[in-house]
Amino acid sequence: MFRSVSEPTIYTGTLTYRNLEFTFVFDGEELRLIPPKDKAEEIFRQWILTPLTSQKGETSWVFDPANPLLTMEEPLLTGKCNEDYRVFLFLTRQGERLRFSRSVLFARVAAYFEFDSGESEIARIDFRAPEIDRVYPSHRAVREEFDENDFSKGVWTLKTRPWAETITEKQAFQVDGVDAQAGFYVARKMSHALGESPLTLNSVLTFNFEPTADRAFIFRLWGVAKRFLQFLNYRRNVYLPETKLYATGGLNVGVFRVLDETGDAERYALKKELCVKQSYIAGAEGKILTELAANTLYTRHIPETFRSGRQIDVARFLLITTAFEWEFARFIAELADKEKKTGEIEKTEAPLIAIFDREKRKEKVCLCEKIEKCGERFDALVGDYGRVLYTLNGETFELSDAARRLARQRNAYAHGNLEREFDHKSSLALIYLLHLVYAIQLRRHGVNDVNVKKAINDLFDWGMGFDAIAEASPELKSE
């Protein structure tokens, strides 16, 4: 139920706040609460003004900015629309100060639900965005049937594939202890309206869960979906302003809209399809989503835009090195757990287990050693990118030298020497480290080596032919 041009942009209705019925006016951004005429003076005097009594016993009313009644107390307000049968549920900014004009209150809204007719439990939410069309390309839903005779007559046949061929297998994940399932599918829309495409295909990220009336949980799921897409696109400027809501059985019951969720799409990244495609992480989506919900997958190093991610400063350096140390610690802990359970470990992973054991004994292991040993373990995945990166910049890639430079730079910052400038090779080493972080994260979630390398190739716009890469790195495993 996406808003059309003909729909009103201002809604009015009634809602209850602090046991008083207000008339609300909502323009999609700010919520105005207009009290009944017989309560307007009372609200103005008691909620906005504070009585002061003079020594003579005279009472005067003054504005008190600290009046607690000027703070939004309720996290959720329910309003019934005058224009139709819609019901609005406003997620307020609880604890924020209210603005006022006489007795009219102005409240900022974080997000709101818009139900077609009455409140409903929600069992599924669908997300659409240009980035989703790149992660799970919608063209997979179309099959071209070419006939040379028909084509010469101007007849061109396109056929959509069956639903089963355009839906991914559902992957289980958890948010705050609640089970859910995630998947992708391609939605179809036919239209006979002028100015619209006869057939529109859109890729959709969908979450399914047990029917719930917990509106805060829906907002939480929205946040997890946004972070998931940010991780797959290596940029924060991914926007999900409107989400479709479904009840049990697939009935569309309304939409969920988040305010301040606007911005221009990064056309360069979209055109180049700079992202980790769903086909590369198939089967790992649930694990990634669970860690994102639990804040155990490091994403603070992800830049605001893809282009800004190519700029290096002190903050970027510290965020990327912190991302490495966070993910490295989790990776070696999981390796140690695997060795304990199975007694099996790969030869290249033995030095990493040794680092885990030393740190467990409270021994200090320098960043340089961690980067070098981890780089050796993941050389088949990111080594080629490091070598090509250095060659393009007239340098020779040496893992040990890159690790030393990063460690020296980080130590300088740790001791307050923020004026230390990046040398050319340190900047290249940091870019290599960023690739290594993504390799650890994807591999840790079960993505096989071939797909890890393909994902990094696409995400960072290397444009390498994978057949040539595989020949250069025969140790890659398809698993």
- The answer to whether the CB of 317 falls within 8 A of the CB of 430 is yes
CB atoms within 10 A of CB 397: 20
Report d(CA 253, CA 250) in Å as an integer: 9
| Average confidence (pLDDT) over 170-174 | 98
- The answer to whether the CB of 87 falls within 8 A of the CB of 119 is yes
Helix (H) or strand (E) segment spanning residue 206:
strand 199-212
Write the single-letter amino acid at 270.
L
**Region at 450 (left for phi over 0; alpha for psi -120 to 50; beta for the rest):** alpha
Angle at 184 between CA 179 and CA 190, to 5 degrees: 130
Report d(CA 94, CA 405) in Å as an integer: 47
- Greatest CA span in the chain, whole angstroms? 103
Q: How far is CA 60 from the centre of its chain?
A: 52
Residues 6+ apart with CB under 8 A from 317: 409, 410, 413, 422, 430
Q: Is the pLDDT score of 66 beyond 90?
A: no
The domains of the chain are located at 11-115, 122-288, 312-472
Strand, helix or coil for residue 99:
strand
Average pLDDT, the chain: 89
Give me the percent of the chain exceeding a pLDDT of 90: 64
| pLDDT tens figures, 414-455 | 777 777 777 888 999 999 999 999 999 999 999 999 999 999
Strand, helix or coil for residue 125:
strand
Least confident of 143-147, 206-210, 241-245: 143-147
| pLDDT tens figures, 310-363 | 888 889 999 999 999 999 999 999 999 988 888 877 888 899 999 999 999 999
Give me the percent of the chain exceeding a pLDDT of 70: 91
| pLDDT tens figures, 264-280 | 889 999 999 999 999 99
Report d(CA 275, CA 18) in Å as an integer: 47
Report d(CA 401, CA 110) in Å as an integer: 48
Q: Which residues of 100-136 are buried (b: 16+ CB within 10 A; e: fewer)?
A: beebbbebbbbbbbbbbeeebebbbbbbbbbbbbbbb
Q: Is the pLDDT score of 6 beyond 50?
A: no
Q: 226 is written with which tokens?
A: 């946004």
- The answer to whether the CB of 185 falls within 8 A of the CB of 159 is no
- The answer to whether the CB of 186 falls within 8 A of the CB of 140 is yes
| Average confidence (pLDDT) over 84-101 | 90
Tell whether pTM > 0.75.
yes
The CA R_g of the chain, rounded to the nearest whole Å, is 28
Q: Is the pLDDT score of 3 beyond 70?
A: no
Q: 250 is written with which tokens?
A: 């697939």
Specify which residues 11 forms β-bridges with. 26
pLDDT value of residue 282: 97
Report d(CA 183, CA 169) in Å as an integer: 6
Q: Is the pLDDT score of 151 beyond 80?
A: no
